[in-house]
Amino acid sequence: MLVVVAVLVAAPALLGACGTDGREVDGATSADVGAPSSTDPGPATTDPPRSTPPTTAAAPTSSAFDVRAVLERLVVDDRPRPDRPYRREEWRHWDDLDGDGCDARDEGLISASVQPAVVAPGCSVVAGDWVSPYDGVVSTDPGAVQIDHLVPLQDAFVSGGWRWDTPRRRLFANDPAGLVAVSAASNQAKGAQAPDEWRPPDHRAWCPYALAWAHMKVTYDLTVTTEERDALGQMLEGCPPGTARDARPGPLPGTPAPTVPVAPTTAPPGEEPSYANCAAARAAGVAPILRGQPGYRDRLDGDGDGVACE
């Protein structure tokens, strides 16, 4: 299971404005784009031309972060967007793609917690330490943390996802590489906006945010607009030398995280530990678990290879 969050510390979290239950709401409805039925294959299109990166970008020195190398991988397309409606229900999210009992939101919360999250049976996350990478807001209440689709589902739709079939849309909507655990305020302020329209309030998050955005666009063959690419370039200019190109938004450095009780990782004397699911095993720091080791269960070993929660 791949998890989200990684630069500045860990990985995760999601897009669009979310409701009070921490679930995302893109801010777009079927009336936002208007047009034929989503089942209509739409007009034939040609592959968008790959544009030349901004000529103003200075040649990198041996020690500088290579902004141009990141921008050159992006495909710029400023043509009109598809004349068909974006329908959020066609992008199934918060699914359990790996079948370990935890949906994408639960896994985003678990992986983003600074301290091991407290996970109840059924993969219910009841507590943890979260620091929003967008604005530094800290919380120990999972209900106050929202999972953001870094590249909003609506943006993915208009930049190429309108051509996708249902399985690919579902994969994108639940990909941990594109999910970030953030504060409700920052998630709702962002909505479905691209980097030329919205940026994290804390400038220290700009570098990993832009890198993660570019990574998702390239990985899923999605296009960017000229304005979007230029905004990414401006944020990437702040990347320090040696920054990894697969960096992900994580807790901002220097932001104190609250402390909460951590679920016990050992069983009572004489009893073998038992984990409700792989997320709980990972939170306890024992995954992967080999057959014969304490805590191993066949139900946690989906492929039956003797290694659970790998």
pLDDT tens digits along 201-260: 999 999 999 999 999 999 999 999 999 999 999 999 999 988 887 766 766 554 544 444
Region 87-101: mean pLDDT is 93
One domain, residues 305 and 238: no
Report d(CA 134, CA 206) in Å as an integer. Answer: 9
| pLDDT surpasses 80 at 24 | no
One domain, residues 291 and 164: no
Contacts of 308 (CB under 8 A, 6+ apart): 278, 281, 287, 288, 289, 290, 291, 295, 296, 297, 300, 301
Report d(CA 277, CA 120) in Å as an integer. Answer: 10
Q: What is the pLDDT of residue 9?
A: 35
Nearest to 111 by CA among 122, 123, 99: 123
Q: What is the pLDDT of residue 253?
A: 52
Assigned domain for 97 exists:
yes
More confident residue, 6 or 247: 247
Nearest to 303 by CA among 6, 100, 45: 100
Report d(CA 1, CA 24) in Å as an integer. Answer: 21
Region 282-308: mean pLDDT is 78
Confidence (pTM): 0.66
Number of domains in the chain: 2
Contacts of 107 (CB under 8 A, 6+ apart): 1, 3, 176, 279
| pLDDT surpasses 60 at 10 | no
> What tens digit of pLDDT does each residue of 142-200 get?
999 999 999 999 999 999 999 999 999 999 999 999 999 999 999 999 999 999 999 99
The answer to whether the CB of 259 falls within 8 A of the CB of 129 is: yes
Assigned domain for 222 exists:
yes
Contacts of 186 (CB under 8 A, 6+ apart): 132, 134, 135, 137, 148, 200, 201
Report d(CA 126, CA 123) in Å as an integer. Answer: 9
pLDDT band for position 279 (cuts 50, 70, 90): low
Q: What is the pLDDT of residue 31?
A: 33
Q: What angle do CA 244, 219, 277 make, to 5 degrees?
A: 85
The answer to whether the CB of 295 falls within 8 A of the CB of 274 is: yes
Q: Are strands 75-76 and 24-25 parallel, antiparallel or unpaired?
A: unpaired
One domain, residues 242 and 115: yes
Domain that holds residue 102: 17-37+48-54+61-256
One domain, residues 93 and 202: yes
Tokens of 291: 């057959």
One domain, residues 84 and 161: yes
| pLDDT surpasses 90 at 55 | no
Region 16-24: mean pLDDT is 40
One domain, residues 275 and 246: no
One domain, residues 32 and 89: yes
Task: Tell me if the bond preceding 288 is cis, omega within 30° of 0.
Answer: yes
